[in-house]
Structures are given as structure tokens and as C-alpha cells.
């Protein structure tokens, strides 16, 4: 079954992508939740026109995303302080929401759903890497440190 995505779907595609999925997934999940529409000939024509019009606006959006990525790359030493116990074990964990808050203080605003930390939540102090997606074409790797909070 071919469908046209109306929203970004993790591990499937981005908005206005035409993808092929199994019938049950499309009929029971994507279409009822408004994530996709059936790829009929008329829907394909509408999609082609939408993509044609969007190509002009897309350049500005990509440039803005690259500007944000450059601003992120200028941040050389980002440290996130967290309460730690014996050794390097944290009380709780550091997640993408904590990384968003730290980046906001540095002047880079990004939604937490576009940040993926390798291994999920961080439970120990040390240096970690996150992948940040500003746009479907602009993806940046970012290194940060998790340090013990001063007592």
C-alpha cells in the first residue's frame, strides 16, 4: 500500500514523502491517526504541486537550519551538571530535555524530539555524543560532558 505522509514518522519518512507500507499498518495506524493519506492519482498530483511550490521556500528553511547548526558547532565545551553519587553514577538521568535546556542557555533552540542521544538516557558522568536534526538535510553530531554537581 502506498501512502503519502502528512507528518514526520520515526523510522519511516518525513512529511510529504510517498512510502510503501504494509496494508494493516497504513489502514489501522497511519491513516486513522492522520499521519498519512492513501496515495491515489489525485493525491499524487496535489503532492507534486505542493512539492513544486515548496522548493522555493525550502532553500530559506535549509539556510536557517544550517545557521542553527553552525551556531551549535561554535559551542565547544557544553557541560551539564547533575547530582552524582559514589563514583560516576548519577541520581536519576540526563535526557534530551536536559540537553535542550542547556542549549537554550547557549542560544540554540531546538525541540527535544529532534535530539537523539546514543544509548538513550545517560546514567553516568562522562563525555557523550548526541545527534541533532535541524532539518531533513541538516543533521549535526554534538559532543557534551555530564559532570557531577558541586556540593
Mean pLDDT of 109-118: 86
pLDDT at 33 over 90: yes
R_g (Cα) of the chain, nearest Å: 20
Distances (CA, A) of 87 to 10, 147, 150: 36, 11, 14
Mean pLDDT of 41-51: 92
Sequence-separated (6 or more) residues with CB below 8 Å from residue 32: none
Alpha-carbon gap, residue 62 to 139, rounded angstroms: 11
Alpha-carbon gap, residue 77 to 33, rounded angstroms: 41
pLDDT at 151 over 70: no
User: What are the residue ranges spanned by the domains of the chain?
Assistant: 2-59, 70-148
In which band, very low, low, confident or very high, does the pLDDT at 75 lie, cut at 50, 70 and 90?
confident
Task: For domain 2-59, give the fold.
Answer: Ribosomal Protein L9; domain 1 (3.40.5)
The CATH superfamily assigned to 70-148 is Ribosomal protein L9, C-terminal domain (3.10.430.100)
Amino acid at each position: 500500500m502506498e501512502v503519502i505522509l502528512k507528518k514526520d514518522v520515526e523510522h519511516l519518512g518525513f512529511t510529504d514523502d510517498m512510502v510503501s507500507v504494509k496494508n494493516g499498518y497504513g489502514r489501522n495506524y497511519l491513516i486513522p491517526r492522520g499521519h498519512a493519506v492513501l496515495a491515489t492519482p489525485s493525491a499524487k498530483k496535489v503532492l507534486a504541486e505542493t512539492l513544486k511550490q515548496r522548493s522555493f521556500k525550502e532553500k530559506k528553511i535549509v539556510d536557517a537550519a544550517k545557521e542553527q547548526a553552525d551556531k551549535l558547532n561554535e559551542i565547544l565545551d557544553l557541560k551539564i551538571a547533575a547530582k552524582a553519587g559514589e563514583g560516576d553514577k548519577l541520581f536519576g538521568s540526563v535526557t534530551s530535555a536536559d540537553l535542550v535546556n542547556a542549549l537554550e542557555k547557549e542560544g540554540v533552540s531546538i525541540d527535544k524530539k529532534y535530539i537523539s542521544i546514543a544509548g538513550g538516557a545517560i546514567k553516568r558522568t562522562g563525555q557523550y555524543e548526541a545527534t541533532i536534526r535541524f532539518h531533513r538535510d541538516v543533521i549535526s553530531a554534538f559532543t557534551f560532558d555530564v559532570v557531577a554537581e558541586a556540593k
